[in-house]
Structure 1
Amino acid sequence: MARLEPAHPMWPQVKETLRRCAEDRESIIHEVFQTSTAHGKKLLNKIFNGGAPPEHLASQDFVLRLQKAAMFCRWTCVSVSPEVFGQMVEDEDRSHPEASTLFFIWSAVEDLIISAWLEKIQEQQPSHVSLHFDGIRVDQAAVGSSVEAFCVECASHIKSRTGFDVSLRPKSHQTFLEGIRVGSASRDAESIEPATLTDEGNCILCALHRLGHTDAAGKMLGDTDSEAAVYFRRRRHRTYLQVVEATQVTLTPWMSSTEFAHMPLEGNFLIHLTKNNKPHCVGLRADTPGNFIVMDGNATFTIQNRLFWNAFAAAIDSRHVVFFQVWEDPAAWPNLPGSIARLEKTEVERLLELQACAGDDSSRDIDDDNNREFEQDNEAVTHVGDVLLRKLSEEIDAVAADRRTPRPDASGRARCPLCPFRSWSRHNACRVLVHIRKHHTSTKQYSASGTKQIKLVLALHDQDKLEGMPAACNYLRRSADMIRDTVRPPLSSTRNSIDKKIRLVFTQDGPEYWNLEATISAGLRRSRNLYYNLGFAQKIFQKTILNNAKEQDTLHALNLCPLQFFPTMTAMKAEISNRACSLFPSHSKDWWPLIEDIFSSPHVRQLGDQLIAECVQHKEMRCLSIDATMRCCMPLLGQARIKASPIERAEVITVRGRTNAVVVMRAAQAEDSDTAAYLLAETLPAAALGQIMYVSVDNPSRKYFSTLKSLCPNLQGMSLDTVHLAMTCEYGSARRRTGATKALRRVLAKFAAVDTAVGPEAFGKIFSGGKAKHLTAEEERFRRHVEDRSMRQHDAQRLLNELDDEKPIYTRLEWIQLIAAVANVFRDDMTRLCPGPNKRVWQLLLGATSPERSEWYLNNLRIRHSLHARALPLLPVGTTSNESLHAEINRWFKETQMMHQATLEMKLEILRLGKLLSHNRALYHTTSCQMTHAEVLARATRQCLWTEGEWAAWCSELEDGEGAKMKAHLPFHEARETQKSIVRGCRKRPASAPSARSTVRRTPHTLERQDSFKRGGRRSCH
């Protein structure tokens, strides 16, 4: 401002005010504002920038002068930079344009100073420089041994460059405890007995000891058998809640706030703060006027109140500091200072759960493997099981604390509120509390009924968490009520453990526990050890079909179950409102047997047979296309390498009908004629085989035709797929279309054209293999043009220009001419090497013009002209419909990493059923409006497959007298187990071999659970 040389009469007074702010800031903060340095600096900036001062300072003389000086500076900057002010006025987002103008002038000056400062720093060639809002961070090597001297040099350089006097100093970052150490007037040390109070993790007890609670602290220190003592030995820290329960000392938490600086604190406090980057506790005695006494271990610090609050306000951990007032008498709680609002009960509980573990400066490292699993600094590890155990313990304590004799229920029995069925006569009602104390113990995880109630407790807890609800203290009671509601008839009231008497049953409403006796007579199926009813079976059937046999999506859409089994499970879980959805198994190995049982049921097989019969009725089998794909088989365990011979590799063979119906989708070891014939004979009925007249493949031969002819008596012709040639040529251009392949596709498209003016005899007899008619001289001449590209460019280009896609190729000569034209117009593309066949493009085209392959290509035209015109619109071109299906299959299996062959076979059966059902409903039962494949499937599978009687009859097959139901026969599951054992044997490694386990990268969805909770009889550590 002085550099601007204001001529206003107010300037001398404003200048003096600004000088005091720059040179006498500490006295203004402490004498005028009467607050800490950190808070006072923020207050000065706020008032200078136009902010309203606190009410108790609004009438202070200096504050008024500072407000006037700020206004003077703002309007001086406006007069100096009217163009900037004009832009600020036009900006609707700026409510105070004069303050914005001052900010821009101020920022320009700061930028000028920092530029000069950086100039000086760069002379030292620092390895690190970063700009911060309040200074510059630079590496120590560039500064030298004396930071203060370097700051003086920088200030002198800035003065010489800019003319501004700048005061620079090293930035310090202190914790609250470090600030207390620095600001203390005296520091004393005294011996403490016992010395173990200063060990790591005993800081809370040490602070209580120093505040006068020696007996209470010593008693807890000497305890070695309680739950808190075991907790301390394993984790090397204590919580304030544990100390309160063990010492009976009352602690009232106060959250840290700047309001503390204006309060007359009195009494004894525990301060929760940071030491050596660990949570720590120190004692505070506030009974000396003007001073506070802070006790950290055996050290005692005496510090002025003002310096204490200055250290608090400037501390980097001030937001995490909590004060616990130590009360001799709990009745004194209501006498809290009025400026601090009382915390809610839940907030008090959370603050008392804070942990303190830092010891003295020479804290020792704990080398204990058991402690590592309870590491608290690792965000990838969660201990939710321990929290749940604590909630269960609190629930037990709450029930046991009510010493009133339980009242009998409507049946006249006194019931344990935490057990599903345990009860006593009204004369023995007092035994309820005895039972709770004796059987609901930590060794049983507080459940006297067994592990199945514990599993339900976990399910209820997980559902509460997923809905954003806090963990409750009523899980045992709620789980007991749920079991009591679903187990009919009720179990004996004299037994504690009920695990062997109940079974988990999957219903359309979610998982429920049923009486074992009820499962024998009820309409339930048993797949291994999973029981399910009619409603659940229908849901699984529908969701699995809709999610393309992906089990996890089906489970989640239910909120539950497996085909890649994850989509199926996802779909199921989303529909079920039962709070016990976590009882559903999460691994696909538990779901595949259930899915196999459903899809191998007589009604599902009958549905598949009906769909095939419907296709036969509409002459779907008259024209078939056969092709194979291998990519979806790569995740198979035991699959050969991609470069292995075709005989060694497993493939999926697909067969589609005249209107694209998927009639066969099976895994096979090869794609030869014998395999194709075997799959057709095994899958299709005799009526379908007798209907087959024409077949399109990508590897026709005389053997292939004769093999199928022996199976299909009415087979008349076989054609070569026209699209494979273009696809193979595109291998040489990384599967991208080039000018040559685009022209080639136009030529090949003529094999799908139909000339209604001529019949099939115009194209000659259907070729069935063997030796084809020799090439004529003219055909040989044009074929040589393919090999040596010697055709005249003009003639070749003319042939392509006159190409009519809507007219067929009438003669073999015309076909060879067009191929020669493509080869000569696009000569540069002909030398590309195509991986796979490992041939040049011209070699592929030359092979396509051989007599036999030319005849197989012309068979496409002979077959199309043999069919009725109404059958042509839906007739696919060659095996293009199979290629489209293969792309779908590969998408379905894209995320599958590993699977067994039995799993693949079952998935393919389900996928075929879904495709066939959608095809038949859309084509043979047309609706008033078009619908997508997914919508057709969703609505076609809505109707239940089984009637009540049919379901009961199917379930009765598993009845075994009065005993439990027999397990369903599952051939796919048995085959899968056999394949697993083979794979396990191949993968077995020597015991001395190093572990090949890779590092697990954790995400919020894959946190490691480490706690003492036993799930299914085993402690969690995954």
Structure 2
Amino acid sequence: MQTMLSTTRLYEGSETFFTLAGFAELLLREVLIYNGKMKSVMQRIAIQVASQGCEIANLLPVNGKSWWPMVEDVFASPAVQALRYVLLAELETHTEYTSISIDATLRICLSILGQSAKKDTASAYSAGDSVKRVLSVKGRTGAVLAMIPMSATTSEVVTKALSDNMSVIAKQQVKFVFCDNASPKLLTHLSTIFPVLETLALDPVHLPIVYEYSTWRKRTPGSIFLRTIMAKFNKRDNTRTANSWGPFYCGDSTDKLDKAESIMRQKILDRSMSSTRATTIQNALKGDQPWYTRIDYIESLAALVALYPSEVTRIAPGPNKQVYRILWSAAAFDRIEWMFNNMRIRHSMAASECTLLPSGTASNEALHAELNRCFRSTQSIHQSTIRLKLQILCFAKLVSHTSAMYRPTIKQMASSHVLARSLVCPVWTTESWREWCDELSAHRHMNKADLPLKSRRVQEIAKVKQHMLKRPASNSTGSAKASKLPGLLKKKRTAFTRQRKGKLLRQGQHVCK
């Protein structure tokens, strides 16, 4: 009996338990490979268990909510957490945190239960307890360092989120931060947690993305020209140093554009550059070289406006401004200098360090697109569940990236293939499994596993339910009428939902379902 107890994990409020480390290994692998999609995971595990002729297949939960406590326990286990710390330490050893890029996404938070996308007063949660954004943090070579749920995108909230999710060693490495909202305020707040932080850099890819909002996210000749213009901020000239562009810009508001630059910027707003001059500038543009002066960059934007008048007069959804006015704003002194920091950063780093350096927050945007695909079929989800799924996705990215970066295969492979090969080695040994299970074993019985997210989910369910009862629609008589229907009419029986008599005894009685 004691041997059985020492190899078993039991969960409060559920009859779910597992007694073999092999089952936990199987659950860990399937959850990572299928990005936490429990419907796919349940089917895969059912196949694996049934193919072994094991009758435990009849005891597997058929509802995803019964699997999440097991998933939480597995990913919070000492063995998995130790592996996570090893992977993060490996990134710290290779100075992955020297340069980080941060960006926030909104879409996956829209399906969280109890939250209103329009007003905080219509939510079950307060403004500080809501999850309105997910902050993604990527490193110098594109490693996913963190995916953090946040209540807002203010400098204070972002700083606290980064401080809580990065180690002391990691924070001491950060010198440069790429973002799409660089400001002196954000730089000041981040400097309080990053002691060697030198500057911020504005994402050069964000402007073409906003441009393409007006064309329903389709590439046009104008957007291709703009992408060529902005790509020059990521180029490196081996004959130049960072001093060629002056010191890092940190938000000094005393400097302004000179007279020639101001005149050229006005041509963006007036759209007054001649088409002949604009064509000459476009043909002479060298996409493999960085920008050397501000006026050359402003002149190229003026040429874009002159060459594609039908495109730049469209209104871009989101900013709700005409495209040429957005380009005019991008030619402001502070915006230009924040973007010129991209070239200053790349020329202050060694050439080997820039090989895999992402372009601004472009890698974050790619990660957000992947997250949107993972959550596309999710209609509703609780805060605790989305936190757990983000931990799972981040851990999977860590495993695949470190394997591909520091233990490369003979031929190139997709990230999913590298992840699958990396999960071959077992996480638990017999001894580590017994030690983990012994934490819950007591005299002749098992204690319940401590699952903070599960407890939090119970509270969230109660809070959302209470909030729904306050709505006027909850007082309608439709639900009351449905409750008075005969029992036979409440549920349509099929071949899969027929009543059956279980083989297990519960409190001395057979139970029909």
TM-score (norm 1): 0.46
Partner of residue 58 from structure 2, selected from 558, 574, 582? 582
C-alpha distance in structure 2 between counterparts of 1:626 and 1:521, whole Å: 45
CA gap of 1:573–1:840, structure 2 versus 1, over 3 A, is farther
Q: Deviations over 1:716-768 (max 9, x none)?
A: 12100011111111111111122221111110010011111110111111101
Partner-residue secondary structure (3-state), 1:712:
coil
C-alpha distance in structure 1 between counterparts of 2:153 and 2:41, whole Å: 33
- What is residue 626 of structure 1 aligned with on the other side? 102
Q: Does 1:552 align with 2:39?
A: yes
C-alpha distance in structure 2 between counterparts of 1:655 and 1:910, whole Å: 15
CA gap of 1:819–1:581, structure 2 versus 1, over 3 A, is same
- What is residue 982 of structure 1 aligned with on the other side? 463
C-alpha distance in structure 1 between counterparts of 2:192 and 2:214, whole Å: 39
Q: Using the TM superposition, give the Cα deviation of residue 576 of structure 1 relative to its aligned residue in structure 2, in angstroms.
A: 4.7
Alignment map for 1:149-160 (pairs within 5 Å): none
Partner of residue 764 from structure 1, selected from 246, 264, 268? 246
Note if contact 1:633-1:652 (Cα within 8 Å) is conserved in structure 2.
yes
C-alpha distance in structure 1 between counterparts of 2:381 and 2:497, whole Å: 30
Instruction: For 1:762, give the aligned amino acid.
Output: S
- What is residue 960 of structure 1 aligned with on the other side? 442
Partner of residue 614 from structure 1, selected from 65, 81, 90? 90
Partner of residue 25 from structure 2, selected from 531, 535, 538? 538
Note if contact 1:557-1:575 (Cα within 8 Å) is conserved in structure 2.
no
Q: Using the TM superposition, give the Cα deviation of residue 534 of structure 1 relative to its aligned residue in structure 2, in angstroms.
A: 1.0
C-alpha distance in structure 2 between counterparts of 1:733 and 1:990, whole Å: 42
Instruction: For 2:325, give the aligned amino acid.
Output: Q
- What is residue 803 of structure 1 aligned with on the other side? 285
CA gap of 1:852–1:644, structure 2 versus 1, over 3 A, is farther
Partner of residue 150 from structure 2, selected from 668, 685, 688? 668
- What is residue 485 of structure 2 aligned with on the other side? none
- What is residue 9 of structure 2 aligned with on the other side? 525
Q: Using the TM superposition, give the Cα deviation of residue 580 of structure 1 relative to its aligned residue in structure 2, in angstroms.
A: 4.9
C-alpha distance in structure 1 between counterparts of 2:402 and 2:474, whole Å: 55
C-alpha distance in structure 2 between counterparts of 1:961 and 1:833, whole Å: 71
Partner of residue 686 from structure 1, selected from 168, 188, 196? 168
- What is residue 856 of structure 1 aligned with on the other side? 338
Q: Using the TM superposition, give the Cα deviation of residue 1019 of structure 1 relative to its aligned residue in structure 2, in angstroms.
A: 4.9
Instruction: For 2:315, give the aligned amino acid.
Output: L
Note if contact 1:772-1:852 (Cα within 8 Å) is conserved in structure 2.
no
Q: Using the TM superposition, give the Cα deviation of residue 926 of structure 1 relative to its aligned residue in structure 2, in angstroms.
A: 2.0
Q: Does 1:784 align with 2:260?
A: no
Note if contact 1:654-1:662 (Cα within 8 Å) is conserved in structure 2.
yes
- What is residue 591 of structure 1 aligned with on the other side? 67
Alignment map for 1:202-281 (pairs within 5 Å): none
- What is residue 639 of structure 1 aligned with on the other side? 115
C-alpha distance in structure 1 between counterparts of 2:332 and 2:49, whole Å: 59
C-alpha distance in structure 1 between counterparts of 2:237 and 2:497, whole Å: 74
Note if contact 2:383-2:457 (Cα within 8 Å) is conserved in structure 1.
yes
Partner-residue secondary structure (3-state), 1:943:
coil
Q: Using the TM superposition, give the Cα deviation of residue 967 of structure 1 relative to its aligned residue in structure 2, in angstroms.
A: 0.6
Note if contact 1:525-1:531 (Cα within 8 Å) is conserved in structure 2.
yes
- What is residue 700 of structure 1 aligned with on the other side? 182
Alignment map for 1:453-472 (pairs within 5 Å): none
Q: Using the TM superposition, give the Cα deviation of residue 935 of structure 1 relative to its aligned residue in structure 2, in angstroms.
A: 2.1
CA gap of 1:710–1:796, structure 2 versus 1, over 3 A, is same
Partner of residue 656 from structure 1, selected from 113, 138, 143? 138
Note if contact 1:520-1:959 (Cα within 8 Å) is conserved in structure 2.
no
C-alpha distance in structure 2 between counterparts of 1:956 and 1:803, whole Å: 68
Note if contact 2:180-2:206 (Cα within 8 Å) is conserved in structure 1.
yes
Q: Using the TM superposition, give the Cα deviation of residue 956 of structure 1 relative to its aligned residue in structure 2, in angstroms.
A: 0.8
Q: Using the TM superposition, give the Cα deviation of residue 518 of structure 1 relative to its aligned residue in structure 2, in angstroms.
A: 5.7
Note if contact 2:291-2:297 (Cα within 8 Å) is conserved in structure 1.
yes
Q: Deviations over 1:355-405 (max 9, x none)?
A: xxxxxxxxxxxxxxxxxxxxxxxxxxxxxxxxxxxxxxxxxxxxxxxxxxx
- What is residue 40 of structure 1 aligned with on the other side? none
Note if contact 1:754-1:808 (Cα within 8 Å) is conserved in structure 2.
yes
Note if contact 1:660-1:876 (Cα within 8 Å) is conserved in structure 2.
yes
Q: Does 1:836 align with 2:318?
A: yes
CA gap of 1:574–1:820, structure 2 versus 1, over 3 A, is farther
C-alpha distance in structure 1 between counterparts of 2:267 and 2:99, whole Å: 36
Partner of residue 970 from structure 1, selected from 437, 451, 461? 451
- What is residue 994 of structure 1 aligned with on the other side? 478
Q: Using the TM superposition, give the Cα deviation of residue 1009 of structure 1 relative to its aligned residue in structure 2, in angstroms.
A: 5.5
Q: Which shows bigger deviation, 622-631 or 634-643? A: 634-643
Q: Highest relative contact order (Cα 8 Å, sep 6+), 1 or 2?
A: 2
Note if contact 1:585-1:591 (Cα within 8 Å) is conserved in structure 2.
yes
Q: Using the TM superposition, give the Cα deviation of residue 675 of structure 1 relative to its aligned residue in structure 2, in angstroms.
A: 2.1
C-alpha distance in structure 2 between counterparts of 1:676 and 1:844, whole Å: 26
Partner-residue secondary structure (3-state), 1:946:
coil
C-alpha distance in structure 2 between counterparts of 1:760 and 1:774, whole Å: 21
Q: Deviations over 1:400-450 (max 9, x none)?
A: xxxxxxxxxxxxxxxxxxxxxxxxxxxxxxxxxxxxxxxxxxxxxxxxxxx
CA gap of 1:617–1:856, structure 2 versus 1, over 3 A, is same
C-alpha distance in structure 1 between counterparts of 2:52 and 2:202, whole Å: 51
Q: Using the TM superposition, give the Cα deviation of residue 990 of structure 1 relative to its aligned residue in structure 2, in angstroms.
A: 4.7
Note if contact 2:155-2:189 (Cα within 8 Å) is conserved in structure 1.
yes
CA gap of 1:758–1:632, structure 2 versus 1, over 3 A, is same
Identity across the alignment (%): 35
Q: Deviations over 1:812-837 (max 9, x none)?
A: 11111111111111112121111111
Note if contact 1:524-1:534 (Cα within 8 Å) is conserved in structure 2.
no
Note if contact 1:786-1:823 (Cα within 8 Å) is conserved in structure 2.
yes
Q: Using the TM superposition, give the Cα deviation of residue 520 of structure 1 relative to its aligned residue in structure 2, in angstroms.
A: 5.1
Note if contact 1:556-1:574 (Cα within 8 Å) is conserved in structure 2.
no
C-alpha distance in structure 2 between counterparts of 1:642 and 1:722, whole Å: 30
Note if contact 1:559-1:576 (Cα within 8 Å) is conserved in structure 2.
no
TM-score (norm 2): 0.90
Q: Using the TM superposition, give the Cα deviation of residue 578 of structure 1 relative to its aligned residue in structure 2, in angstroms.
A: 2.7
Note if contact 2:131-2:149 (Cα within 8 Å) is conserved in structure 1.
no
Instruction: For 1:859, give the aligned amino acid.
Output: N
Q: Deviations over 1:128-151 (max 9, x none)?
A: xxxxxxxxxxxxxxxxxxxxxxxx
C-alpha distance in structure 1 between counterparts of 2:474 and 2:309, whole Å: 58
Q: Using the TM superposition, give the Cα deviation of residue 883 of structure 1 relative to its aligned residue in structure 2, in angstroms.
A: 0.6
Note if contact 2:114-2:467 (Cα within 8 Å) is conserved in structure 1.
no
Note if contact 1:1011-1:1019 (Cα within 8 Å) is conserved in structure 2.
no
Q: Using the TM superposition, give the Cα deviation of residue 640 of structure 1 relative to its aligned residue in structure 2, in angstroms.
A: 2.4
Partner of residue 867 from structure 1, selected from 349, 360, 364? 349
C-alpha distance in structure 1 between counterparts of 2:51 and 2:137, whole Å: 35
Note if contact 2:242-2:347 (Cα within 8 Å) is conserved in structure 1.
yes
Note if contact 1:823-1:842 (Cα within 8 Å) is conserved in structure 2.
yes
Q: Which runs of 5+ in 1 are unaligned?
A: 1-516, 561-571, 998-1005
C-alpha distance in structure 2 between counterparts of 1:1010 and 1:539, whole Å: 28
CA gap of 1:781–1:536, structure 2 versus 1, over 3 A, is same
CA gap of 1:1009–1:588, structure 2 versus 1, over 3 A, is closer
Q: Which runs of 5+ in 2 are unaligned?
A: 122-126, 483-492
Q: Using the TM superposition, give the Cα deviation of residue 886 of structure 1 relative to its aligned residue in structure 2, in angstroms.
A: 0.6
Q: Using the TM superposition, give the Cα deviation of residue 558 of structure 1 relative to its aligned residue in structure 2, in angstroms.
A: 1.8
Instruction: For 2:230, give the aligned amino acid.
Output: L
Alignment map for 1:354-503 (pairs within 5 Å): none
Q: Using the TM superposition, give the Cα deviation of residue 1013 of structure 1 relative to its aligned residue in structure 2, in angstroms.
A: 3.5
Partner-residue secondary structure (3-state), 1:751:
helix
Q: Using the TM superposition, give the Cα deviation of residue 672 of structure 1 relative to its aligned residue in structure 2, in angstroms.
A: 2.3
Q: Which has the larger radius of gyration?
A: 1
